[in-house]
Amino acid sequence: RFRHAVSQEIERLAEVLTAETGKPIRQARAELDATLPRIDFFLEHATEALADEVVHTDASSGLEERISHEPLGVVGNISAWNYPWFVGTNVFVPALIAGNAVLYKPSEFATLTGAEIARLWTEAGVPEGVFQTLVGGGPLGRALVELGPDGLFFTGSFATGRAIAQAYGPHMGRLQLELGGKDPAYVAPDADVAVAAASLADGAFYNNGQSCCSVERIYVHETLHDTFVEAFVEQVDAMVMGDPTDGSTYLGPLTRSAQLAVLEAQVADATARGATLVRGGNALPGPGAWMQPTVFTGVDHSMALMRDESFGPLIGIQSTSGDEQAVELMDDTEFGLTAGVFPPSQERAEAILSRLDVGSAYWTCCDRVSPRLPWSGRRHSGVESTLSVSGITAFSRPKGWHLRAS
C-alpha cells in the first residue's frame, strides 16, 4: 500500500522535494520513479531471504539444525537530504519488512519529504509508533544515537559517521554507515571519447554533483586528453542552469548554502597551485546558493579538489601515462565508494577494477546504483552495506537452532 501510494503521488512528492532541496524537478521525478523498483526488489526477495532454513538433518541421531532470522528490534535511521527517497527506502522498507520498528530522522534539509514519508506509512496502515519520525538536526541525531537503538543505519558525511561510530560503539548494536566519496574514473587510450564524455559529464554534474557516487576525479590517457576535454566541455556547455521547477533545468541551486564556501576554497586552492580553469569557477548571485559548473585540467593530488569530497559541481581532469598510473591515482584516496573505467575491453576493465579498493565497480558507466547489488563503501566511505539480498538480512539477527528429537 505504501508503494502504491507513492506511485499515485509522484508529481506532488517531486514538487515537495524540489521546493525544499532545489533538486531540478526532472531529477526529483526520476528519483521517485526509481524508488518503486527498489521497493519491488525488497518485496520480491524478502520472504525467501528471511525464511527459516534447515541446513542439516541426521535421521540416525534425530538432529535438525536450522537458521531463523529475528528482527533487530528498534532501528534508528539517520538520513541525508541529497536523495531522501533512495537512501531512506534502502533502510526503512527492509527494516519494516524484517519486523523492526523504525525511528526515522530525515535530514533537516529534507524534513518535508520526511513528513510525507511518515504520512504515507501511516496511511498504508503501519501501526502507530512502528514508524516514528523525529524532526530536527544534528543534536537530535546525536540524542537518537545515545538512546542506543538495536540497529543504527546512517547516511551522511564521513565526519558525522565517525562521530556516530564513536558514540554508538558501546551500545554494541548493528551499525551501518553510508558515507562520502571522491569517486574516480579512468578514460583509457582506446576509449570511445564521445561515450565517456557524455557519461562522465552526467556523472559529475547530475544533482549538481551532490551525490555520494558523483564522479569527482577523471584521469585521461595523455594521448586523448585534449580530445576528451573538448568533448566533455561541450557536454557541460549544453547543461541548462536555472529555475529547478522548470522541466528543462539540469542544474539548480546547491541545497546547502554553506557548501559554497567549500567549493570556492577548492577553486582558489586549485588555481593557486597552478591548475587550469577551463569552465566556470564562480559563485552566482542569489536568491539561493549558485555555483557555475566548474572544470579544471592540469590538476594533481596536492590540490584539495582531487583529495577532499567536493559535493558540488566541480571536476578535475588529470592526464595519465597508462593503466598502471591510473590505478595508482584512482586508489590514492581515503575514500572507497565507486570507480569507473572506460576501455573497450571488458577483460581489461575488470583487471583494473579488481585492483581498486571500492565497493562498486563500473565499466562504461558511472554514478549508478542497483537494488540487486550491494551498496557499500570502503575506508572512509562506509561500513557494511545496504541493498541486494544482504540488505534485507542486515535488518535481522540469525538464530541457530540445535534440535535433537529424544
Based on CB atoms, which residue is closest to ligand NAD, 39 or 212?
212
Active site residue 178: yes
CB of 149 to ligand NAD, least distance (A): 12
| CA–centroid distance for 386 within its chain | 10
Of the residues 20, 31, 116, 178, which is catalytic? 178
Contacts 24+ apart (CB under 8 A), 166-173: 167/142, 173/72, 173/148, 173/149
155 makes contact with ligand NAD (CB under 6 A): yes
Separation of alpha carbons 32 and 25, rounded Å: 11
- The least distance separating ligand NAD from the CB of residue 63, rounded to whole angstroms, comes to 43
| From candidates 82, 249, 333, 396, binder to ligand NAD by CB under 6 A | 82
DSSP single-letter state for residue 258: T
Binding-residue pattern over the window 306 to 335 for ligand NAD, x denoting contact by CB under 6 A: ---x-x------------------------
Taking CB under 6 A as the rule, does residue 181 contact ligand NAD?
yes
If one asks whether residue 142 binds ligand NAD (CB under 6 A), the answer comes out as yes
Binder of ligand NAD out of 32, 164, 299, 341 (CB under 6 A): 164
The SS3 of residue 281 is coil
By CB under 6 A, which span of 13-21, 42-50, 56-64, 80-88 interacts with ligand NAD? Answer: 80-88
Catalytic residue among 31, 212, 213, 216: 212
Of all residues in this chain, which one has the CB nearest to ligand NAD in the complex? Answer: 141
Q: Among all chains, which residue has been given the C-alpha cell 557516487? A: 213
Q: Quickly tell me which residue has 571488458 as its cell.
A: 346
Q: Which one of the spans 51-59, 72-80, 264-272, 389-397 is the region binding ligand NAD (CB under 6 A)?
A: 72-80
Nearer to ligand NAD, 80 or 191 (CB): 80
Using CB under 6 A as the binding rule, the residues of this chain from 338 to 397 that contact ligand NAD are: 377, 382
CB atoms closer than 10 angstroms to residue 66: 15
Mark the segment that binds ligand NAD (CB under 6 A) among 46-54, 57-65, 141-149, 199-207. Answer: 141-149
Contact 320, 174 (CB under 8 A): no
* Nearest distance, CB of residue 82 and ligand NAD, angstroms: 5
Contact with ligand NAD (CB under 6 A): which of 77, 89, 160, 249? 160
> Of residues 100-119, which lie at the interface with ligand NAD (CB under 6 A)?
105, 107-108
For the CB of residue 105, give the shortest distance to ligand NAD in the complex, in Å.
6
Q: How far is the CB of 144 from ligand NAD (least distance, A)?
A: 7
CA distance 310 to 333: 13
Q: How far is CA 203 from CA 34, 125, 216, 233, in A?
A: 17, 38, 9, 14
Provide the 10 A C-beta neighbour count for residue 122. Answer: 15
Query: Cα(386)–Cα(87) distance, rounded to whole angstroms?
Result: 9
Instruction: Collapse the DSSP code of 131 into the 3-class scheme (helix H, G, I; strand E, B; otherwise coil) and give the result.
Output: strand
Which of 78, 224, 352, 392: binder of ligand NAD (CB under 6 A)?
78
| Beta strands 174-178 and 382-383, pairing class | antiparallel
212 is an active site residue: yes
- Minimum distance, C-beta of residue 358 to ligand NAD, in the bound complex (Å): 12
Q: Where does residue 243 rank: exposed (0-12), middle (13-18), buried (19+ CB within 10 A)? A: middle
178 lines the binding site for ligand NAD (CB under 6 A): yes
290, 264 in Cβ contact below 8 A? no
Which of 95, 179, 197, 236 touches ligand NAD by CB under 6 A? Answer: 179
Pick from 150, 39, 131, 130: nearest CA to 93: 39
Q: Which is nearer to ligand NAD, 216 or 323 (CB)?
A: 216
Number of residues that bind ligand NAD (CB under 6 A): 31
Cα atoms in the Cβ-side hemisphere of radius 13 Å centred on 344: 6
Burial label, 113 (beta-carbon count in 10 A; 0-12, 13-18, 19+): buried
Stretch that binds ligand NAD, among 51-59, 125-133, 152-160, 283-291 (CB under 6 A): 152-160
Give the residue ranges of DSSP H helices in 172-224. Answer: 193-205
Positions that interact with ligand NAD (CB under 6 A): 78-83, 87, 105, 107-108, 137-138, 141-142, 145, 155-157, 160, 163-164, 178-181, 212, 309, 311, 337, 377, 382
Catalytic residues, by residue number, are: 178, 212
